[in-house]
Amino acid sequence: MLADIAHQRSQSLLRQRKVLLLAAAASFVINLALFSALSSKDREIILQPIATRPLTISSSGVEADYLELVTRDVALMLLNRSPAGLDYWMEQILKLADPSAHGALKAELVKIVTEQRGSDVSQAFVINGMTVDPKGLTSEVEGDLKTFVGGQVIASETKRFRFGWSYAGLRLSLTSFALVHSPKEARP
């Protein structure tokens, strides 16, 4: 009699163990499926109220509107400078730099800071137009670049600058900037 009770009890425990193992395996498979679904899905953030219309950032790529707004802000920050705020100016631009381009950008900025430190030369840029290429991750800004010594304007020219970008995850980072020479300037 005791053997029958012990056998029934052990069979009951074996059934409970099998059910528990099946539940754990099912839970593992479901969690694995959910993780893979979440990791492969594009992430998206809605930015409000940066612009007059809602913008989204998606891990699948950068939108032209967002690239335009970032280019505008970076161009104004990069091209408007005075000797009084050079350290802050360089620090803010380097925060936007792509890690792979950080050294090259810092070298360019250090040259500018070295040339301008201790002088009365400042510069102001007014944007006249812009083109963006979200697929190529480039943008160009055209505008009037004015150079001042003290309060006196010593130069005013229309210039075009090209910005290179990288986009990883949800981060748009600056990789390069350069003056675009027009065909007129290239001729001797």
Task: Work out the average pLDDT over 103-125.
Answer: 90
pLDDT range class, residue 181, cuts 50, 70, 90: confident
Report the amino acid identity of residue 187.
Answer: R
Of 20-29, 42-51, 136-145, the least confident: 42-51
| Phi-psi group of 53: left, alpha or beta (phi > 0 → left; psi -120 to 50 → alpha; rest → beta) | beta
Residue 16 lies in a domain: no
Task: Work out the average pLDDT over 144-167.
Answer: 92
Residue 187 above 70 pLDDT? no
Number of domains in the chain: 1
pLDDT at site 51: 60
**Does residue 165 or residue 6 have the better pLDDT?**
165
Domain housing 175? 62-186
Residue 180 above 80 pLDDT? yes
Q: What is the CATH number of the domain that holds 67?
A: 3.10.450.230
Residue 144 lies in a domain: yes
Phi, psi of 105 (to 5 degrees): -65, -40
pLDDT at site 91: 93
The pLDDT mean for the chain works out to 85
Residue 7 lies in a domain: no
Residue 28 lies in a domain: no
Residue 172 lies in a domain: yes
Name the DSSP letter for residue 114: H
CA–CA distance, 113 with 140 (Å, rounded to integer): 23
pLDDT at site 183: 56
Task: Work out the average pLDDT over 108-121.
Answer: 88
Q: How far is CA 176 from the centre of its chain?
A: 13
pTM above 0.75, yes or no: no
Task: Work out the average pLDDT over 123-151.
Answer: 93
pLDDT at site 188: 43
Query: What are the Cα distances from residue 4, in Å, to 8, 22, 34?
Result: 6, 27, 45
Residue 137 lies in a domain: yes
pLDDT at site 49: 53
Q: Of 78, 164, 162, 88, whose CA–CA distance to 123 is shortest?
A: 78
Reported as a single tens digit per residue, the pLDDT across 26-84 is 999 998 888 877 666 666 665 555 566 666 677 778 888 888 988 999 999 999 998 88
Residue 135 lies in a domain: yes
Residue 158 lies in a domain: yes
